Amino acid sequence: MADSRRLGSAWEVANAALGLHAARLPLPRRTIESLLAARGEDVRTGRLAIKVAWERGTIAYINAATTWNREARTFALMSTAYPACDLLLTRDQAVTELVTAYFHRYGPATLRDASWWSGLPATDITAALLASGRPVIAVATPWSEAPCLMFADQADESATNEATTGVQFLAHEDTALKAYFQTRSRYLGDLPPRRAFNQIGEALPTVIADGMIAGTWSWNTRTASVDADVIAGKIPAPVRRQVKAGAAALTETLRSAWAPRPPSRRAPGAQPPPSAANSSAAGPTAASLTTAAWPAE
């Protein structure tokens, strides 16, 4: 009961404090905690208030850092940061919007692809497609024995579009890779999944050549440059030269918004922590290039 009251109190004070200071948002977590403390709330309730408000969609997490390898965690009212976001949708309406957007952007895809990407059961996916009001067709592809679904009004464009992607450098957890599960062979070909995903299923920073995985890339903090690791024999020499040129161009882009880490304060001769053992060739992280998970400091 006490926890329930604390949760209710946290929810109320989060709305009140954030609403009163909307003009000053986004605010760092500690500033919000100070505002709540000024109202007589203890630290535990203040932190719970932020977490509850974030989980319920009242506030949005915004990385205010000016460099891609840093994180400045701030929070803003969802209604202020994203005024076009409708938080009053019913669950069915929200699921329909999500599934419609998925197939519009990533179709053709299988039900299992959509279910894996969204976390929704196949029954919800099917119901949402019916509710979308757009005719859906099933198409055969070389990527899966299961039929792939897409909206019928996109079929002609899909069948006649012969554009190729050329050489592209995709970021960590890029949606072009994460959007699929059952049909990953569309960009993996006969490569094993570990060529594009790490041991916990995160999409690696990859090099794409005409829609297919050609290798991976990482940011070398020692040289402040992009290192491209192209799979031997995967692409011809002219395309390898395009990859080299693309890596050089990406290096200049990333250098323009990269902050070197400050010198270590470890005592002379001290060993680095295990997590830093491979930092010299670490690629951009999910926190730096994609939306972060719950930002608990």
Looking up residue 7, the CATH number of its domain turns out to be 1.10.10.10
d(CA 119, CA 113): 10
pTM of the full predicted structure? 0.75
Q: What pLDDT is attached to residue 133? A: 95
Where the chain has pLDDT below 50, the residues are: 1-4, 20, 23, 267-297
| Overall domain count for the chain | 3
C-alpha count within 13 angstroms, C-beta hemisphere, residue 253 = 8
The verdict on residue 140 lying in a domain is yes
d(CA 247, CA 98): 34
5-39 tens-digit pLDDT: 555 555 565 555 555 455 456 888 888 778 777 77
Q: What pLDDT is attached to residue 116? A: 94
d(CA 208, CA 230): 10
Q: What pLDDT is attached to residue 47? A: 81
Q: What pLDDT is attached to residue 24? A: 58
The verdict on residue 279 lying in a domain is no
The verdict on residue 263 lying in a domain is no
Give the range of the structural domain holding residue 184, as residue numbers without chain letter. 167-255
d(CA 200, CA 192): 15
The verdict on residue 285 lying in a domain is no
**Helices 111-118, 91-106: crossing angle, 10 deg rounding:** 120
Are residues 250 and 195 both part of a single domain? Answer: yes
The verdict on residue 206 lying in a domain is yes
Which of 121, 143, 160 is the C-terminal boundary of a domain? 160
Alpha helices in 107-172 (DSSP H): 111-118, 122-131, 155-160
- Supply 194's token pair: 């570990």
110-136 tens-digit pLDDT: 999 999 999 999 999 999 999 999 999
d(CA 23, CA 119): 36
